[in-house]
Structures are given as structure tokens and as C-alpha cells.
Amino acid sequence: MDIFTLSFWGISIVLVGASFVKSKEKTFEAMKKSKKMMGSMLGEIVGIIFIIGIVLTFIPPESIKSVLGSENTVMATFVAAIAGSVTLIPAFVAFPLIGSFIDVGASIIPAVAFLTTLTMVGVVTFPLEKKEFGFKFAILRNVFSFIAALLIAAVMGVIL
Amino acid sequence: MRALQIVKKNKLPVIVGIIYILLYILVPNKADTSMRSSIYYLIEMFEVLPVIFLLTIALEVLVPKEWIMKHFGEKSGFLGNILSFILGSISAGPIYAAFPISKMLLSKGASVPNIVIILSSWAVIKVPMLANEAKFLGISFMGIRWILTVMAIMLMAWVTGKILSRKELLSGISTTAKPNFYVNQDYCIGCGMCTTMLPDVYEIINNKALVRLSVAHPENKMMILKTVEKCPTKAIIMATEVS
């Protein structure tokens, strides 16, 4: 556990302690409510996690190199953005991987597109987002994020 | 019968489970690798989800609805956006950890653009992640990508807010919630009878009552039925069929 997550544990435990001091009944009531909300999500989250395992096995992070290395930058950017949307590579694996690739001279535009959709667009988490916030919200947020990733990549290609 | 219901409620994990069984039969070594990389994410989940659970409780008890409305609501303006950015950025865990918190804020009065900002910045902008990016890709790369991402999120939030109203977002969610009841917007006169009786279940937005999300407890059913009776224009509709 990194120090960041650890401090979160500390803060939230203190806050719940404060809730208890403020009102025991309210805290228990809120606990019931949260339990219900989290309970309905837990099954899906566990399902998603095991899908990530399958995706990582059949599409290993290294395979992204062949996508980013394409001669046609526009095509490569588009494919990289899609690859970032469907895969869920941990960021600390993705950064060194992309870094090593840019070091050997690859274009940064597809790389940026990939890094941005990797975290912002979630095809795998889409069913859960849809369930929690409705179809329209989920589709808007994901589609906009996808477009945003392409734009960010294009602008970065011009600047750097 | 019961088993069937459990399967129906947990479609995704059941399907994934079946896939794993098939993988173990057909390509056992691949299934094994999948299982092992999943465990990393499972650990991440168990590190973060209990915190989210605790935070939603503290949020519910300690932070009054008025405060959320003032700082994250429709009229919170630019400052509300900044606050949403900070909240999303100092967060821990993957994007699904943001769902319960965002949903709670939404039910307490946060605006649609601010929810988009919280979810997106939760996903992309994180201090440990930025440090990692700067280390492997350079500070200027990280800095420029960060600035562009913040701008893009702002734009996305603004556009989503224009397309999707809070009212529509809430009603979209509440119609699928159980028990299945809703307020007919054409009949509601916004008298506030239902919100006075059950402030946890109803709220008034734009002079019309709406069913708030995530609070439709079955144990409230008797009280809800009473509000259905008491509503002067009979605008609260209780559907008999639960979808």
C-alpha cells in the first residue's frame, strides 16, 4: 500500500470516528445505506477485475508497441486510442513502457492518445457506470473522453 | 428459484466465472496467468473500497446537504469546478471507486458538470501517477498533458451539463430503482407535501418534486404509499410491476 492510500485510510477512519461522536444512529443508518450501495456494485467490480486479468493475458502490454509503431500516424493514433479504451494496464506499467518506446524514436501522438484513453475511457467499466448513472451519462462521458484524448494527442504533437 | 435470482442479479460475475472455467479446461496455463494478474487488482480493490465505504458514511453523516449544494451544486460556479477537481485529484483508487462517492454527492445536490469533473479527474489526474509520468516521460510531457487534460475535462463537463440536466440524470436512475415509483412531472405542482413527509426520498428541483436516487429503501414503502395518497394532484405514481 502506498503512502497515499495509507493516509486515506487514516483520514477516513478519523472521519467515521467523528460521525460516531456526532450521531450514533445516523452513522449506523448511513452504514446500512452504504452497505447496500456497495453490495450492489461489488459483484460487478469483482467481475470486471477478472475480465482485466483475461485481457492482460491475451493482449499483453508489450503488444501495444506494434500498434504505436505503425507508419501511418493518424491510423496509429486512432487504433492506440481504441486500445487504451479497452485495455486496463496499470499506469505504472504503461508509463515506463511508453517512455522506452518514445526514447527509441516513436511518434508521441499515438502514445498520448493511448495514455489518456487508458485511464479516462473505460469500456470494461461501462456496464457499471451505466448502471450507476444511466446510459446517457455513461455514453456521453466516455465518448467525450475519447474525443478529448484524440485532441490532447494532436495538440501535444504540435507543441512537443 | 432463489439460485436463479442470484444468478440474475450477478450476471457479470457469473459469466466471467463460466469463462474462467472454460479457460481452465481449454488453456490452463493462460487461465492461470489471468488469475494471477487479476489478484493484483483484487488486492488494489480491497485496499481502496473499504476506504470508500467509510468515506460515504462520513460524508452522509457529517456533511449537510446544503453544504454540498452550495459548493458542488448548480450555482457553485467556477469555484465548485475547482473544488471538484481537487476532490477528484486527491482521491485514491481506480475510477470505479469514484462511483459511490459521486453518486452520493449527486443525490445530495451536486451538479452534472461537477460530477463529470470528479469522475474524470479521479481517473486521470492523480499525484502519484503524475510523479510516475514525469519520471518516465519527462516533466514537460507530463505538465503539458496535465494542462491539456484539465482543459479537456472542463470542456467535457460544460458540454455534458448542457446536454444532460440534473433532473434527467436523476430521473434516469430513479426509474430503474426499486420500489418502482416516480413523480409525474406534468401533474406535480411542487407543493412540497412529499418532501416534507419524506425529505430523504423526495426533493424539489425547478419547482417539481423528484425521487432522489439510492434512497428508495423497501422499508420506506409504507411512508411512500402515504405520500402517494397525500399528494394533492396525485402526481406520485407507484408502478405495480417492478422492472
- Predicted pLDDT at B177: 44
Angle, to 10 degrees, between the axis of helix B77-89 and the axis of helix B65-72? 100
Residues near B114 by beta carbon (within 8 Å), at least 6 away in sequence: B72, B73, B76, B80, B81, B83, B84, B105, B157
Comparing CA positions, the residue from B169, B126, B87, B95 lying closest to residue A142 is B95
Q: How many Cβ atoms sit within 10 Å of the Cβ of residue A101?
A: 18
Q: If DSSP codes are grouped into helix, strand and coil, which group holds residue A27?
A: helix
Which tens digits make up the pLDDT trace of A114-127?
989 988 898 888 98
| Residue predicted with more confidence, A120 or A4 | A120
Provide the residue-wise pLDDT of chain B in tens; the chain has 243 residues.
677 777 777 788 888 999 999 999 999 998 998 898 888 888 888 888 888 889 888 888 888 888 888 889 888 889 999 999 988 888 777 788 888 889 888 888 899 999 999 999 988 887 777 888 888 888 999 999 999 999 999 999 999 999 988 888 887 665 444 556 778 887 888 888 888 888 777 888 878 888 875 455 555 666 777 788 888 888 887 765 443
Q: Average pLDDT for residues A142-157, to the nearest whole number?
A: 93
Q: Are A5 and B172 an interchain contact pair (Cβ–Cβ within 8 Å)?
A: no
Confirm whether A29 is domain-assigned: yes
Among B30, B57, B95, select the one facing A122 at the smallest CB separation: B95
One domain for residues A25 and A72: no
Confirm whether A126 is domain-assigned: yes
Contacting residues of A for B42, CB less than 8 Å apart: 46, 49
Confirm whether A124 is domain-assigned: yes
- Predicted pLDDT at B104: 86
Contacting residues of B for A13, CB less than 8 Å apart: 54
Beta bridge partners of B179: none
Confirm whether A146 is domain-assigned: yes
Confirm whether A98 is domain-assigned: yes
Write the CA distances from B185 to B188, B189, B232, B237, integer angstroms.
5, 8, 14, 10
Residue A135 and residue A99 in contact, taking contact as beta carbons nearer than 8 Å: no
Among B40, B54, B156, select the one facing A16 at the smallest CB separation: B54
Q: Are A57 and B100 an interchain contact pair (Cβ–Cβ within 8 Å)?
A: no
Question: How close A72 comes to chain B (CA, Å)?
Answer: 22
Instruction: Please tell me which residue of chain B has the smallest CA distance to A127.
Output: B12
CA dihedral B193, B198, B202, B205 (to 10 degrees): 50
Contacting residues of B for A4, CB less than 8 Å apart: 92, 127-128
Domain count across chain A: 2
Confirm whether A49 is domain-assigned: no
CATH architecture of B170-238: 2-Layer Sandwich (3.30)
Q: Are A37 and B100 an interchain contact pair (Cβ–Cβ within 8 Å)?
A: yes
Give yes or no for residue A6 having a pLDDT over 50.
yes
Contacting residues of B for A90, CB less than 8 Å apart: 40
Q: Are B95 and A119 an interchain contact pair (Cβ–Cβ within 8 Å)?
A: yes
Give yes or no for residue A139 having a pLDDT over 50.
yes
Contacting residues of A for B61, CB less than 8 Å apart: 19, 22-23, 26-27, 30
Beta bridge partners of B209: B204
Q: Average pLDDT for residues A72-89, to the nearest whole number?
A: 86
Comparing CA positions, the residue from A63, A152, A65 lying closest to residue A109 is A152
One domain for residues A36 and A105: no
- Predicted pLDDT at B94: 78
Q: Are B61 and A48 an interchain contact pair (Cβ–Cβ within 8 Å)?
A: no
Confirm whether A27 is domain-assigned: yes
| Distance of alpha carbon B145 from alpha carbon A88, whole angstroms | 19
One domain for residues A75 and A125: yes
Q: Are A43 and B120 an interchain contact pair (Cβ–Cβ within 8 Å)?
A: no
- Predicted pLDDT at B218: 53
Q: Are B169 and A137 an interchain contact pair (Cβ–Cβ within 8 Å)?
A: yes
Give yes or no for residue A17 having a pLDDT over 80.
yes
- Average pLDDT along chain A: 86
**Cell numbers that stand for B194 in this block:** 412529499
One domain for residues A9 and A64: no
Domain with A35, as residue range(s), is 1-42
Contacting residues of B for A84, CB less than 8 Å apart: none
Question: How close A83 comes to chain B (CA, Å)?
Answer: 17
**Cell numbers that stand for B160 in this block:** 455534458
One domain for residues A74 and A38: no
Cis-peptide into B50, omega within 30 deg: no
Q: How many Cβ atoms sit within 10 Å of the Cβ of residue B78?
A: 8
Beta bridge partners of B208: B205
Which position has the grid cell 436463479? Answer: B4
| Residue predicted with more confidence, B113 or A43 | B113
| Distance of alpha carbon B114 from alpha carbon B101, whole angstroms | 12
Comparing CA positions, the residue from B229, B243, B233, B172 lying closest to residue B198 is B229
Q: Are B96 and A41 an interchain contact pair (Cβ–Cβ within 8 Å)?
A: yes
One domain for residues A64 and A24: no
Q: Percent of chain A beyond pLDDT 70?
A: 100
Residues of chain B with CATH 3.30.70.20: 170-238
Question: How close A76 comes to chain B (CA, Å)?
Answer: 19
| Rg over CA atoms, chain B | 22
Residue A141 and residue B121 in contact, taking contact as beta carbons nearer than 8 Å: no
One domain for residues A66 and A26: no
Q: Are A49 and B55 an interchain contact pair (Cβ–Cβ within 8 Å)?
A: no
Instruction: Please tell me which residue of chain B has the smallest CA distance to A55.
Output: B34
- Predicted pLDDT at B1: 60
Residue B118 and residue A137 in contact, taking contact as beta carbons nearer than 8 Å: no
